[in-house]
Amino acid sequence: MIFVAHHIVVFAQSSSAASSSSANQGMNLINVIVLAILQGVTELFPISSLGHTVIIPGLLGWGDLLSGSNFLPLVVMLHIGTSVALLTFFWRDWLNLLRGGVRVLKAGRITPDVDPGGYGRILALVIMGSIPAGLIGVAFQKQLENNFKDPIIAAAFLVVNGAVLLTAERYARNQRKNAVQLARGRGNGAPAGGKAITELSFVQAAVIGFAQSFALIPGISRSGATMAAGMANGLDREESARFSFLMAAPIILAAGIAEIPKLLHNQTLHALELAIFGGVISGIAAYLSVKFLMKYFETNRLDPFAYYCAIVGLLAFGYFFYQALPLLQF
């Protein structure tokens, strides 16, 4: 997401207060591998990459490490690696989207005769869905930095994320049950699954895109929020995941590219090498993650991710609250 690299650096600084890490700890290969896998997996699983990048360092005592000067280039490369993985996995989709977009632009309209496969419309929907989060990120960057810096807050919102996923799953299931009962009452067979992406309106795409903005809060998952919004607007899990990942690729790539000047500024060759290696690891982890998730959502539900977020969030909240007890004044 836009500004995510900068937010993670800010949030990571606060996690050192809840950890026992030693000062001036250097970035090493183990740190890079762990953080790369963490980014590649949690960015796409509906469990909040930003929340885990705030919570995990606090648990491992890496607060000072992540607030160091070598962390920013690593974060930039991790996000570029993730976006490249998404573009690689969906390369056929993106090729068709671009072709459809060109046809639509040349014709000046989005109609079935111009865009028979609906790819031009999907591209327009992806663009529409990407606008709200970008605008909100620009408008509320400072407020988000000032109000959400503590890992205990990330843990609390991870529980909220679990509740959102569970609510979305229950809502979609009830909608499906009502549709089946209505079809049977009319003497029809069981209705097909949810609507296709091409059936979304541009307002619905904007609503789904707006849901991404909540992921600027650590603990709220971008993919989880967009999937929940997609399902609430009639998409099934698989189509919701596909639309979410299509929107994610350009946003994550833009966030990484925007930070490249900082990546090249006053960085040692060793730091850049570690960052590039981390980007490759993150890309591999992200590719395997999206491959698994697209298969998983063909037949499976969001419930396991919801329970995971709730359990991990509660445990992390309890841990950080316990660590903060000596600082509290009653």
Phi, psi of 235 (to 5 degrees): -75, 150
SS3 sequence of the chain: CCCHHHHHHHHHHHHHHHCCCCCCCCCCHHHHHHHHHHHHHHCCCCCCHHHHHHHHHHHHCCHHHHCCCCHHHHHHHHHHHHHHHHHHHCHHHHHHHHHHHHHHHHHCCCCCCCCCCCHHHHHHHHHHHHHHHHHHHHHCHHHHHHHCCCHHHHHHHHHHHHHHHHHHHHHHHHHHHHHHHHHHHCCCCCCCCCECHHHCCHHHHHHHHHHHHHHHCCCCCHHHHHHHHHHHCCECHHHHHHHHHHHHHHHHHHHHHHCHHHHHCCCCHHHHHHHHHHHHHHHHHHHHHHHHHHHHCCCCCCHHHHHHHHHHHHHHHHHHHHHHHHHCCC
CA distance 4 to 145: 11
Domain boundaries along the sequence of the chain: 4-90+144-327
Mean pLDDT of 104-119: 93
Kindly report, residue by residue over 265-322, the tens digit of the pLDDT. 766 777 788 888 999 999 999 999 999 999 999 989 999 999 999 999 999 999 988 8
pLDDT recorded at residue 10 = 40
Provide the token pair at 155: 């843990």
CA distance 41 to 285: 6
Burial grade of 213 (CB within 10 A; 0-12, 13-18, 19 or more): buried
Band of pLDDT at residue 150, cut at 50, 70 and 90: confident
Provide the token pair at 188: 């029809």
CA distance 133 to 126: 12
Judge contact between 313 and 161, C-beta under 8 A.
yes
- Is the pLDDT reported for residue 326 higher than 50? yes
Place of tokens 């707006």: 210
Q: Which of 38, 108, 119 is nearest to 75 (CA)?
A: 38
- Is the pLDDT reported for residue 146 higher than 70? no
Kindly report, residue by residue over 33-92, the tens digit of the pLDDT. 988 999 899 999 999 988 887 788 778 877 666 666 667 678 778 889 999 999 999 999
CA 88 vs CA 84, 257, 282, 283: distances in Å: 6, 17, 13, 10
Q: What is the mean pLDDT of the chain?
A: 83
Task: Look up residue 199 and give its amino acid.
Answer: E
Place of tokens 């046809």: 103
Judge contact between 38 and 52, C-beta under 8 A.
yes
- Lowest mean per-residue pLDDT among 10-14, 123-127, 190-194: 10-14
pLDDT recorded at residue 181 = 75
Q: What is the pTM of this model?
A: 0.84
Provide the token pair at 94: 């993106």
Radius of gyration from C-alpha coordinates of the chain: 21
CA distance 314 to 158: 8
